[in-house]
Protein backbone atom coordinates (compact mmCIF):
# COMPACT_ATOMS: atom_id res chain seq x y z
CA UNK A 1 0.00 0.00 0.00
CA UNK A 2 1.52 3.33 -1.10
CA UNK A 3 1.71 6.14 1.50
CA UNK A 4 -0.94 8.85 1.49
CA UNK A 5 0.07 11.80 -0.69
CA UNK A 6 0.96 15.13 0.88
CA UNK A 7 -1.93 17.56 0.56
CA UNK A 8 -2.29 21.32 0.61
CA UNK A 9 -3.69 20.91 4.10
CA UNK A 10 -0.43 19.24 5.18
CA UNK A 11 1.48 22.28 3.92
CA UNK A 12 -0.87 24.62 5.79
CA UNK A 13 -0.51 22.60 9.00
CA UNK A 14 3.26 22.69 8.72
CA UNK A 15 3.19 26.47 8.23
CA UNK A 16 1.10 26.86 11.40
CA UNK A 17 3.42 24.60 13.39
CA UNK A 18 6.52 26.48 12.36
CA UNK A 19 4.76 29.80 12.77
CA UNK A 20 4.23 28.85 16.41
CA UNK A 21 7.69 27.42 17.00
CA UNK A 22 9.87 29.85 15.09
CA UNK A 23 8.01 33.11 14.51
CA UNK A 24 6.00 33.38 17.73
CA UNK A 25 8.77 31.75 19.75
CA UNK A 26 11.40 34.15 18.38
CA UNK A 27 9.25 37.23 18.98
CA UNK A 28 8.39 36.07 22.50
CA UNK A 29 12.04 35.48 23.48
CA UNK A 30 13.13 38.81 22.00
CA UNK A 31 10.31 40.60 23.85
CA UNK A 32 11.39 38.97 27.12
CA UNK A 33 15.04 39.97 26.60
CA UNK A 34 14.15 43.59 25.85
CA UNK A 35 11.68 43.90 28.74
CA UNK A 36 14.15 42.34 31.17
CA UNK A 37 16.68 45.04 30.31
CA UNK A 38 14.02 47.79 30.49
CA UNK A 39 12.72 46.70 33.92
CA UNK A 40 16.14 46.85 35.57
CA UNK A 41 15.52 50.51 36.44
CA UNK A 42 12.03 49.93 37.91
CA UNK A 43 13.29 47.22 40.26
CA UNK A 44 15.09 49.88 42.31
CA UNK A 45 11.86 51.86 42.83
CA UNK A 46 8.90 49.52 42.63
CA UNK A 47 10.53 46.15 43.11
CA UNK A 48 9.44 43.40 40.79
CA UNK A 49 5.70 44.18 40.88
CA UNK A 50 5.53 46.07 37.53
CA UNK A 51 7.72 43.44 35.90
CA UNK A 52 5.59 40.61 37.27
CA UNK A 53 2.38 42.24 36.00
CA UNK A 54 3.94 42.77 32.60
CA UNK A 55 5.20 39.17 32.43
CA UNK A 56 1.77 37.82 33.38
CA UNK A 57 0.05 39.78 30.58
CA UNK A 58 2.73 38.90 28.02
CA UNK A 59 2.66 35.21 28.91
CA UNK A 60 -1.12 35.20 28.54
CA UNK A 61 -1.05 36.94 25.15
CA UNK A 62 1.70 34.80 23.64
CA UNK A 63 0.18 31.69 25.16
CA UNK A 64 -3.14 32.46 23.49
CA UNK A 65 -1.48 33.04 20.10
CA UNK A 66 0.60 29.89 20.40
CA UNK A 67 -2.38 27.85 21.54
CA UNK A 68 -4.49 29.07 18.63
CA UNK A 69 -1.78 28.10 16.14
CA UNK A 70 -1.40 24.64 17.69
CA UNK A 71 -5.15 24.05 17.65
CA UNK A 72 -5.32 25.27 14.07
CA UNK A 73 -2.46 23.00 13.04
CA UNK A 74 -4.06 19.97 14.69
CA UNK A 75 -7.39 20.70 13.01
CA UNK A 76 -5.83 21.06 9.57
CA UNK A 77 -3.79 17.87 10.06
CA UNK A 78 -6.99 16.02 10.91
CA UNK A 79 -8.56 17.30 7.69
CA UNK A 80 -5.51 16.14 5.73
CA UNK A 81 -5.76 12.64 7.21
CA UNK A 82 -9.35 12.49 5.98
CA UNK A 83 -8.32 13.32 2.43
CA UNK A 84 -9.33 16.97 2.51
CA UNK A 85 -7.15 19.16 0.32
CA UNK A 86 -5.68 18.72 -3.13
CA UNK A 87 -2.54 16.58 -3.41
CA UNK A 88 0.20 19.19 -3.42
CA UNK A 89 2.33 17.36 -5.99
CA UNK A 90 -0.40 17.52 -8.63
CA UNK A 91 1.08 20.78 -9.89
CA UNK A 92 4.60 21.89 -10.78
CA UNK A 93 4.30 24.79 -8.34
CA UNK A 94 3.25 22.46 -5.55
CA UNK A 95 6.18 20.14 -6.26
CA UNK A 96 8.51 23.14 -6.11
CA UNK A 97 7.07 24.12 -2.71
CA UNK A 98 7.64 20.60 -1.40
CA UNK A 99 11.22 20.65 -2.70
CA UNK A 100 11.90 23.97 -0.96
CA UNK A 101 10.41 22.75 2.33
CA UNK A 102 12.54 19.61 2.17
CA UNK A 103 15.67 21.68 1.64
CA UNK A 104 14.94 23.78 4.72
CA UNK A 105 13.69 21.12 7.15
CA UNK A 106 13.76 17.83 5.24
CA UNK A 107 15.69 16.00 7.97
CA UNK A 108 12.98 16.85 10.49
CA UNK A 109 10.18 15.92 8.08
CA UNK A 110 11.78 12.52 7.56
CA UNK A 111 12.16 12.00 11.32
CA UNK A 112 8.48 12.87 11.89
CA UNK A 113 7.36 10.66 8.97
CA UNK A 114 5.65 13.68 7.45
CA UNK A 115 4.00 12.93 4.06
CA UNK A 116 5.87 15.90 2.60
CA UNK A 117 9.25 14.23 3.17
CA UNK A 118 10.78 13.33 -0.19
CA UNK A 119 12.21 9.86 -0.81
CA UNK A 120 14.97 9.64 -3.40
CA UNK A 121 13.58 8.32 -6.67
CA UNK A 122 13.94 8.27 -10.44
CA UNK A 123 11.43 10.72 -11.89
CA UNK A 124 9.41 11.07 -15.06
CA UNK A 125 6.72 13.66 -15.81
CA UNK A 126 6.51 14.80 -12.19
CA UNK A 127 6.12 11.33 -10.66
CA UNK A 128 8.30 8.67 -9.05
CA UNK A 129 9.26 5.67 -11.18
CA UNK A 130 9.73 2.40 -9.23
CA UNK A 131 13.21 1.08 -9.98
CA UNK A 132 12.13 -2.39 -11.06
CA UNK A 133 12.36 -3.87 -14.57
CA UNK A 134 8.80 -3.30 -15.82
CA UNK A 135 8.28 0.38 -14.82
CA UNK A 136 11.81 1.32 -15.85
CA UNK A 137 11.35 -0.51 -19.15
CA UNK A 138 8.09 1.34 -19.83
CA UNK A 139 9.55 4.80 -19.11
CA UNK A 140 12.88 4.19 -20.86
CA UNK A 141 11.71 2.24 -23.91
CA UNK A 142 14.53 3.63 -26.05
CA UNK A 143 17.18 3.24 -23.37
CA UNK A 144 20.78 3.04 -24.47
CA UNK A 145 23.54 1.35 -22.50
CA UNK A 146 24.61 4.73 -21.09
CA UNK A 147 22.39 6.34 -18.42
CA UNK A 148 23.24 9.99 -17.73
CA UNK A 149 22.01 10.71 -14.20
CA UNK A 150 21.03 14.28 -13.25
CA UNK A 151 21.11 15.41 -9.60
CA UNK A 152 19.60 18.79 -8.64
CA UNK A 153 20.71 21.13 -5.86
CA UNK A 154 19.40 22.41 -2.54
CA UNK A 155 15.65 23.20 -2.46
CA UNK A 156 15.38 22.17 -6.12
CA UNK A 157 13.81 19.15 -7.80
CA UNK A 158 14.07 17.17 -11.03
CA UNK A 159 12.06 19.82 -12.89
CA UNK A 160 14.55 22.55 -11.97
CA UNK A 161 16.66 21.41 -14.93
CA UNK A 162 13.94 22.88 -17.20
CA UNK A 163 14.92 26.37 -16.02
CA UNK A 164 14.96 28.69 -19.06
CA UNK A 165 13.77 25.99 -21.46
CA UNK A 166 11.41 28.41 -23.22
CA UNK A 167 14.21 30.94 -23.73
CA UNK A 168 16.89 28.48 -24.84
CA UNK A 169 14.53 26.09 -26.61
CA UNK A 170 16.16 23.03 -25.06
CA UNK A 171 17.51 21.44 -21.87
CA UNK A 172 20.53 19.34 -20.98
CA UNK A 173 18.37 16.23 -20.98
CA UNK A 174 17.20 16.90 -24.53
CA UNK A 175 20.75 17.63 -25.68
CA UNK A 176 21.96 14.36 -24.17
CA UNK A 177 19.14 12.39 -25.78
CA UNK A 178 19.51 14.05 -29.20
CA UNK A 179 23.28 14.54 -29.53
CA UNK A 180 24.95 11.72 -27.56
CA UNK A 181 24.62 8.00 -26.92
CA UNK A 182 23.30 8.73 -23.43
CA UNK A 183 19.83 8.33 -21.93
CA UNK A 184 18.94 11.09 -19.43
CA UNK A 185 17.71 9.93 -16.01
CA UNK A 186 16.29 12.54 -13.63
CA UNK A 187 16.53 11.94 -9.88
CA UNK A 188 14.78 13.77 -7.04
CA UNK A 189 15.92 13.63 -3.42
CA UNK A 190 15.42 15.20 0.01
CA UNK A 191 18.04 17.96 0.09
CA UNK A 192 17.55 18.52 3.82
CA UNK A 193 19.27 15.24 4.70
CA UNK A 194 23.01 14.93 5.22
CA UNK A 195 24.86 14.84 1.91
CA UNK A 196 26.56 11.61 2.96
CA UNK A 197 23.16 10.01 3.61
CA UNK A 198 21.90 11.07 0.19
CA UNK A 199 25.12 9.62 -1.25
CA UNK A 200 24.27 6.30 0.38
CA UNK A 201 20.73 6.44 -1.01
CA UNK A 202 22.06 7.26 -4.48
CA UNK A 203 24.48 4.32 -4.32
CA UNK A 204 21.54 2.02 -3.57
CA UNK A 205 19.37 3.63 -6.25
CA UNK A 206 21.99 3.25 -8.98
CA UNK A 207 22.62 -0.38 -8.01
CA UNK A 208 18.91 -1.06 -8.49
CA UNK A 209 18.80 1.02 -11.68
CA UNK A 210 21.67 -0.94 -13.28
CA UNK A 211 19.89 -4.18 -12.46
CA UNK A 212 16.52 -2.97 -13.77
CA UNK A 213 17.83 -1.13 -16.86
CA UNK A 214 16.33 -2.49 -20.13
CA UNK A 215 19.74 -3.10 -21.66
CA UNK A 216 23.18 -3.91 -20.32
CA UNK A 217 24.80 -0.80 -18.81
CA UNK A 218 28.29 -0.12 -20.15
CA UNK A 219 28.80 3.46 -19.02
CA UNK A 220 27.42 5.95 -16.47
CA UNK A 221 27.68 9.74 -16.38
CA UNK A 222 26.79 11.77 -13.26
CA UNK A 223 25.72 15.41 -13.60
CA UNK A 224 25.10 17.47 -10.46
CA UNK A 225 24.08 21.07 -9.89
CA UNK A 226 25.35 22.66 -6.66
CA UNK A 227 24.66 20.19 -3.82
CA UNK A 228 23.96 17.54 -6.47
CA UNK A 229 27.65 17.43 -7.36
CA UNK A 230 28.52 16.68 -3.73
CA UNK A 231 25.86 13.95 -3.62
CA UNK A 232 27.38 12.39 -6.76
CA UNK A 233 30.82 12.36 -5.16
CA UNK A 234 29.36 11.02 -1.90
CA UNK A 235 27.67 8.17 -3.81
CA UNK A 236 30.85 7.07 -5.59
CA UNK A 237 32.72 7.34 -2.29
CA UNK A 238 30.13 5.14 -0.56
CA UNK A 239 30.00 2.66 -3.47
CA UNK A 240 33.78 2.28 -3.42
CA UNK A 241 33.82 1.64 0.33
CA UNK A 242 30.87 -0.76 0.12
CA UNK A 243 32.37 -2.79 -2.72
CA UNK A 244 29.65 -1.95 -5.26
CA UNK A 245 30.46 -2.47 -8.94
CA UNK A 246 28.56 0.32 -10.69
CA UNK A 247 31.14 3.01 -9.90
CA UNK A 248 33.54 1.17 -12.26
CA UNK A 249 31.30 2.26 -15.13
CA UNK A 250 31.42 5.99 -14.31
CA UNK A 251 33.43 7.81 -16.95
CA UNK A 252 32.44 11.43 -16.28
CA UNK A 253 31.39 13.37 -13.17
CA UNK A 254 30.10 16.84 -14.04
CA UNK A 255 29.66 19.37 -11.22
CA UNK A 256 27.95 22.70 -11.96
CA UNK A 257 28.47 25.40 -9.35
CA UNK A 258 29.20 22.78 -6.68
CA UNK A 259 30.63 24.07 -3.36
CA UNK A 260 33.41 21.50 -3.07
CA UNK A 261 35.19 23.64 -0.46
CA UNK A 262 32.00 24.94 1.12
CA UNK A 263 29.36 27.58 0.42
CA UNK A 264 29.95 31.15 1.61
CA UNK A 265 26.26 31.68 2.34
CA UNK A 266 26.21 28.81 4.86
CA UNK A 267 29.48 30.04 6.38
CA UNK A 268 27.93 33.50 6.77
CA UNK A 269 24.82 31.99 8.39
CA UNK A 270 26.99 30.08 10.86
CA UNK A 271 29.08 33.16 11.70
CA UNK A 272 25.96 35.31 12.01
CA UNK A 273 24.39 32.80 14.38
CA UNK A 274 27.49 32.91 16.60
CA UNK A 275 27.57 36.71 16.64
CA UNK A 276 23.87 37.00 17.48
CA UNK A 277 24.42 34.97 20.63
CA UNK A 278 26.44 37.75 22.26
CA UNK A 279 23.37 39.91 23.03
CA UNK A 280 20.24 38.66 24.80
CA UNK A 281 18.00 40.70 22.49
CA UNK A 282 19.42 39.08 19.36
CA UNK A 283 19.86 35.56 20.74
CA UNK A 284 16.41 34.41 19.50
CA UNK A 285 17.51 35.11 15.90
CA UNK A 286 20.52 32.87 16.49
CA UNK A 287 18.13 30.07 17.40
CA UNK A 288 16.19 30.80 14.22
CA UNK A 289 19.33 30.47 12.09
CA UNK A 290 20.34 27.26 13.86
CA UNK A 291 17.10 25.58 12.77
CA UNK A 292 18.45 25.02 9.24
CA UNK A 293 18.61 21.45 7.96
CA UNK A 294 21.53 19.01 8.13
CA UNK A 295 21.93 19.28 4.37
CA UNK A 296 22.42 23.05 4.57
CA UNK A 297 24.91 22.73 7.43
CA UNK A 298 26.92 20.20 5.40
CA UNK A 299 27.37 22.84 2.72
CA UNK A 300 29.55 24.91 5.05
CA UNK A 301 32.58 22.84 4.12
CA UNK A 302 31.22 20.55 1.42
CA UNK A 303 31.13 17.44 3.62
CA UNK A 304 30.46 14.23 1.67
CA UNK A 305 31.17 11.52 4.26
CA UNK A 306 29.50 10.73 7.58
CA UNK A 307 32.87 10.66 9.35
CA UNK A 308 33.14 14.41 8.81
CA UNK A 309 30.05 15.21 10.88
CA UNK A 310 29.02 12.11 12.88
CA UNK A 311 28.96 12.70 16.63
CA UNK A 312 29.60 16.43 16.18
CA UNK A 313 27.34 19.41 16.78
CA UNK A 314 28.18 21.40 13.67
CA UNK A 315 26.01 24.33 14.79
CA UNK A 316 28.41 24.85 17.71
CA UNK A 317 31.71 24.97 15.83
CA UNK A 318 33.15 26.28 12.62
CA UNK A 319 33.85 22.81 11.24
CA UNK A 320 36.11 19.78 11.30
CA UNK A 321 39.10 18.94 9.16
CA UNK A 322 37.99 17.49 5.86
CA UNK A 323 38.50 13.79 5.25
CA UNK A 324 40.08 13.06 1.90
CA UNK A 325 37.89 11.12 -0.55
CA UNK A 326 39.82 9.67 -3.45
CA UNK A 327 38.30 10.40 -6.89
CA UNK A 328 37.52 7.57 -9.28
CA UNK A 329 40.74 6.77 -11.12
CA UNK A 330 38.88 5.85 -14.33
CA UNK A 331 36.60 8.93 -14.43
CA UNK A 332 37.12 12.50 -15.57
CA UNK A 333 35.86 15.27 -13.30
CA UNK A 334 34.50 18.43 -14.94
CA UNK A 335 33.92 21.40 -12.61
CA UNK A 336 32.03 24.41 -13.98
CA UNK A 337 32.27 27.70 -12.10
CA UNK A 338 30.52 30.97 -12.85
CA UNK A 339 30.66 34.52 -11.51
CA UNK A 340 28.22 37.40 -11.45
CA UNK A 341 30.84 39.69 -12.98
CA UNK A 342 32.31 39.51 -16.46
CA UNK A 343 35.69 38.53 -15.03
CA UNK A 344 36.99 36.65 -12.00
CA UNK A 345 38.53 39.89 -10.72
CA UNK A 346 35.28 41.88 -10.86
CA UNK A 347 34.24 43.12 -7.37
CA UNK A 348 30.96 41.19 -7.53
CA UNK A 349 32.84 38.05 -8.59
CA UNK A 350 35.43 38.39 -5.84
CA UNK A 351 32.88 38.89 -3.08
CA UNK A 352 29.82 36.93 -4.21
CA UNK A 353 31.10 34.42 -6.76
CA UNK A 354 28.02 33.18 -8.61
CA UNK A 355 25.79 34.57 -5.81
CA UNK A 356 25.88 31.42 -3.67
CA UNK A 357 29.22 29.69 -4.37
CA UNK A 358 32.66 31.27 -4.65
CA UNK A 359 34.77 30.63 -7.74
CA UNK A 360 37.54 28.78 -5.87
CA UNK A 361 35.05 26.46 -4.16
CA UNK A 362 33.29 25.64 -7.45
CA UNK A 363 36.64 24.77 -9.05
CA UNK A 364 37.48 22.47 -6.15
CA UNK A 365 40.24 24.51 -4.55
CA UNK A 366 40.28 24.47 -0.75
CA UNK A 367 42.70 25.74 1.88
CA UNK A 368 44.88 22.67 1.40
CA UNK A 369 44.87 22.73 -2.39
CA UNK A 370 42.83 20.81 -4.97
CA UNK A 371 40.05 18.70 -3.45
CA UNK A 372 39.92 16.43 -6.53
CA UNK A 373 43.30 15.99 -8.17
CA UNK A 374 43.25 16.22 -11.93
CA UNK A 375 39.78 17.77 -12.18
CA UNK A 376 39.20 19.92 -15.24
CA UNK A 377 37.27 23.13 -14.92
CA UNK A 378 35.46 25.57 -17.15
CA UNK A 379 34.54 29.17 -16.41
CA UNK A 380 31.26 30.88 -17.30
CA UNK A 381 31.34 34.66 -16.75
CA UNK A 382 28.31 36.88 -16.13
CA UNK A 383 26.12 33.99 -14.97
CA UNK A 384 24.43 33.44 -11.62
CA UNK A 385 24.19 30.16 -9.74
CA UNK A 386 20.81 29.07 -11.11
CA UNK A 387 21.71 29.88 -14.71
CA UNK A 388 23.93 26.79 -14.55
CA UNK A 389 20.82 24.59 -14.54
CA UNK A 390 20.34 25.24 -18.25
CA UNK A 391 22.90 27.26 -20.17
CA UNK A 392 23.62 26.78 -23.91
CA UNK A 393 27.40 26.83 -23.46
CA UNK A 394 27.27 24.21 -20.72
CA UNK A 395 24.98 22.13 -22.93
CA UNK A 396 27.67 22.22 -25.63
CA UNK A 397 30.36 21.26 -23.12
CA UNK A 398 28.28 18.39 -21.77
CA UNK A 399 27.74 16.96 -25.25
CA UNK A 400 31.44 17.40 -26.05
CA UNK A 401 32.59 15.66 -22.86
CA UNK A 402 30.26 12.72 -23.31
CA UNK A 403 31.12 12.24 -26.97
CA UNK A 404 34.85 12.59 -26.33
CA UNK A 405 34.89 9.52 -24.11
CA UNK A 406 34.85 6.96 -26.88
CA UNK A 407 36.29 4.10 -24.86
CA UNK A 408 34.01 1.13 -24.36
CA UNK A 409 34.52 -0.03 -20.77
CA UNK A 410 33.66 -3.56 -19.77
CA UNK A 411 30.02 -3.89 -18.75
CA UNK A 412 28.96 -5.22 -15.40
CA UNK A 413 27.85 -8.85 -15.31
CA UNK A 414 24.18 -9.08 -16.19
CA UNK A 415 22.08 -9.73 -13.07
CA UNK A 416 20.20 -12.98 -12.89
CA UNK A 417 16.48 -12.55 -13.13
CA UNK A 418 13.87 -15.05 -12.13
Q: Are residues 78 and 135 in the same domain?
A: no
Phi, psi of 267 (to 5 degrees): -65, -40
376-412 pLDDT per residue, tens: 999 999 999 999 999 999 999 999 999 996 544 444 4
Q: Is-contact 281 37, C-beta < 8 A?
A: yes
CATH value at residue 183: 3.40.50.1820
85-94, 320-329, 366-375: range with lowest mean pLDDT: 320-329
Domain boundary among 47, 65, 88: 88
Domain C-terminal end among 64, 88, 112: 88
Q: Which pLDDT belongs to residue 279?
A: 41
How confident is the model at residue 312, as a pLDDT? 62
pTM for the model stands at: 0.82
In a domain, 270, yes or no: no
Distance CA 195, CA 154 (A): 10
State whether 132 and 254 are in the same domain. yes
Residues 164 and 25 in one domain: no
| Residue 270 confidence class, pLDDT cut points 50, 70, 90 | very low
207 and 70 fall within a common domain: no
% pLDDT > 90, the chain: 50
Closest CA to 254 of 285, 278, 231: 231
Over residues 85-93, mean pLDDT: 88
Does residue 299 fall inside a structural domain?
no
Starting at the edge strand found earlier in the chain, the sheet holding 376-380 runs 127-129, 121-124, 183-188, 147-151, 220-225, 250-256, 332-338, 376-380
- Are residues 384 and 355 in contact, defined by beta-carbon separation less than 8 angstroms? yes
Domain that holds residue 68: 8-88
Confidence of residue 21 (pLDDT cuts 50, 70, 90): low
Of 266, 134, 119, nearest to 187 by C-alpha is 119
Note whether 192 and 52 are same-domain residues: no
Instruction: Confirm whether 24 is domain-assigned.
Output: yes
The mean pLDDT of the chain is: 81
134 and 55 part of one domain = no
pLDDT value for 130: 97
**Could you tell me which residue, 404 or 282, shows the higher pLDDT?**
404
Number of domains in the chain: 2
pLDDT of residue 282: 38
Residue 166 forms part of a structural domain? yes
Nearest to 388 by CA among 161, 97, 148: 161
Q: Do the domain assignments include residue 282?
A: no
Same domain, 126 and 55: no
Nearest Cα to 250, choosing from 140, 147, 344? 147
Q: What would the DSSP string read from start to end of 224-238?
A: EETHHHHHHHHHHHH
* pLDDT (average), residues 199-204: 98
Confidence check: pLDDT of 188 > 90: yes
Domain membership flag for residue 199: yes
CA 204 to chain centre: 18
- The gap from C-alpha 385 to its chain's centroid, in whole angstroms, comes to 14
Residue 56 belongs to a domain: yes
Are residues 156 and 256 located together in one domain of the fold?
yes
Q: Are 276 and 245 in contact (CB under 8 A)?
A: no
Last residue of a domain, one of 29, 63, 88: 88
User: Is a pLDDT exceeding 50 seen at residue 16?
Assistant: yes
Q: List, for residues 305-349, the tens digit of each pLDDT value.
A: 876 656 665 555 544 455 556 789 899 999 999 999 999 989 888
As a whole number of angstroms, the distance between CA 362 and CA 356 comes to: 10
Specify whether 47 is located in the same domain as 126: no
237 and 348 co-located in one domain: yes
Are residues 378 and 255 located together in one domain of the fold? Answer: yes
The reply to whether 95 falls in a domain is no
Q: Are residues 60 and 190 in the same domain?
A: no
- CB distance 257 to 362 below 8 Å: yes
SS3 content of the chain, % helix, strand, coil (to 5): 50, 10, 40
Amino acid sequence: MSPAPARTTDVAALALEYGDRLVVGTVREMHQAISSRAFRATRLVGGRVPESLHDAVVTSVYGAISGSLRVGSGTVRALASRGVGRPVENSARGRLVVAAINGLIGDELRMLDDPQAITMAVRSEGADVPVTPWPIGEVFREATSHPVIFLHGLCENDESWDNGARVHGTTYARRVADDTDGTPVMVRYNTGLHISENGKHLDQLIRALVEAWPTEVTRITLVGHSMGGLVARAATNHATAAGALWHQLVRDVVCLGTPHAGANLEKAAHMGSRLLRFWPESRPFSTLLDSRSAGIVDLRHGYISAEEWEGQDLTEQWGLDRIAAAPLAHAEYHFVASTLGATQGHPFSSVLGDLLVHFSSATGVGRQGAIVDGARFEYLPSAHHFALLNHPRIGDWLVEWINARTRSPRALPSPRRA
